[in-house]
């Protein structure tokens, strides 16, 4: 399915426009079914978008926020995506939202994945909004090239839920939603910034194996149309 690319003059303009789009999608979901669920990504790129979204007029008490993926670290760890979301999105009006973490204080990352799959099963699938990022290696979520569970994560027959991922480029062990959990969101967005990311995307759009650049799985096989938001 062809992606729609939205180009903006700068990161601030992108953040405002993406926040408007997401707010409209969440509000529409609340109107139609009473609740809304959004899964967001970590990294430095979404901070301005999170801050913009946090001040939008949404019935936040009916919104559940979760993560596309997470490092196996507690919420107070500086590398935690939970901490990033708490500091930038669960603020202002969005303080009224419910947050569903992926990290669980378990004996192992595998146990945490099982607990997280159970905890997230009830928040509703497909998700109303999924915001993906992309690394310079072509990973998205925790679908890393060379990841020990990459084939399982990308297999469309793998059920919805959270699995583990270990990879050289990942640092800590990861918890990640499977491809099947993310690819059919009502609003599916890839948020990238900078010329280098545009070059990575162009390479991913070309021929090659999904395992080499796992973002290709989303570009090629997502059930929902993909909206790409980019700024220099």
Secondary structure of residue 117 in the 3-state scheme? helix
Residue 64 and residue 123 in contact, taking contact as beta carbons nearer than 8 Å: yes
Tell me the H-state helices in the chain.
Answer: 11-33, 47-53, 81-88, 109-120, 150-154, 179-182, 195-204, 215-221
Indicate if the pLDDT at residue 1 is higher than 80: no
Q: What is the pLDDT of residue 37?
A: 98
Q: What's the half-sphere exposure (Cβ side, CA atoms, 13 Å) at 106? A: 15
For residues 179 and 176, give the distance between their C-alpha atoms in angstroms, rounded to a whole number: 9
Token match 């679908």: residue? 143
Average pLDDT over the chain reads: 96
**pLDDT tens figures, 164-196:** 999 987 889 999 999 999 999 999 999 999 999
The pTM of the whole model exceeds 0.95: yes
Secondary structure of residue 31 in the 3-state scheme? helix
Measuring CA to CA, how many Å separate 206 from each of 32, 199, 203, 212, 224?
Answer: 38, 11, 5, 12, 20
What average pLDDT does range 41-67 have in this prediction?
Answer: 97
For residues 109 and 209, give the distance between their C-alpha atoms in angstroms, rounded to a whole number: 28
Does the domain at residues 19-206 carry the CATH identifier 3.40.50.1360? yes
**pLDDT tens figures, 77-106:** 999 999 999 999 999 999 999 999 999 999
What average pLDDT does range 46-71 have in this prediction?
Answer: 98
**pLDDT tens figures, 101-129:** 999 999 999 999 999 999 999 897 799 99
What average pLDDT does range 32-47 have in this prediction?
Answer: 96
Query: Closest Cα partner for 181 from 164, 157, 197, 213?
Result: 157
Indicate if the pLDDT at residue 18 is higher than 90: yes
User: How large a percentage of the chain has pLDDT more than 90?
Assistant: 94
Q: What is the pLDDT of residue 169?
A: 78
Tokens for 195, please give them: 């010329």
Token match 């905890």: residue? 119
């Amino acid at each position: 399915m062809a992606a729609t690319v939205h180009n903006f003059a700068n990161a601030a303009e992108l953040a405002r426009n993406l926040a408007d789009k997401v707010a409209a999608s969440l509000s529409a979901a609340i109107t139609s079914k009473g609740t809304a669920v959004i899964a967001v990504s970590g990294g430095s790129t979404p901070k301005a978008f999170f801050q913009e979204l946090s001040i939008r007029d949404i019935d936040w008490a009916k919104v559940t926020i979760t993560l596309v993926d997470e490092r196996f670290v507690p919420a107070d760890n500086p590398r935690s995506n939970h901490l990033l979301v708490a500091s930038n999105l669960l603020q202002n009006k969005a303080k009224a939202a419910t947050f569903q973490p992926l990290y669980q204080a378990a004996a192992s990352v595998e146990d945490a994945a099982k607990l997280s799959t159970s905890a997230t099963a009830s928040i509703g699938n497909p998700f109303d909004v999924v915001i993906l990022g992309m690394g310079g290696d072509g990973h998205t979520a925790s679908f890393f090239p060379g990841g020990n569970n990459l084939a399982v994560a990308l297999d469309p027959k793998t059920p919805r839920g959270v699995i583990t991922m270990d990879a050289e480029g990942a640092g800590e062990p990861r918890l990640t939603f499977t491809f099947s959990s993310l690819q059919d969101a009502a609003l599916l967005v890839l948020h990238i910034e900078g010329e280098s990311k545009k070059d990575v995307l162009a390479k991913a759009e070309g021929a090659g194996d999904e395992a080499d650049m796992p973002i290709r799985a989303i570009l090629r096989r997502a059930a929902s149309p993909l909206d790409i938001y980019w700024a220099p």
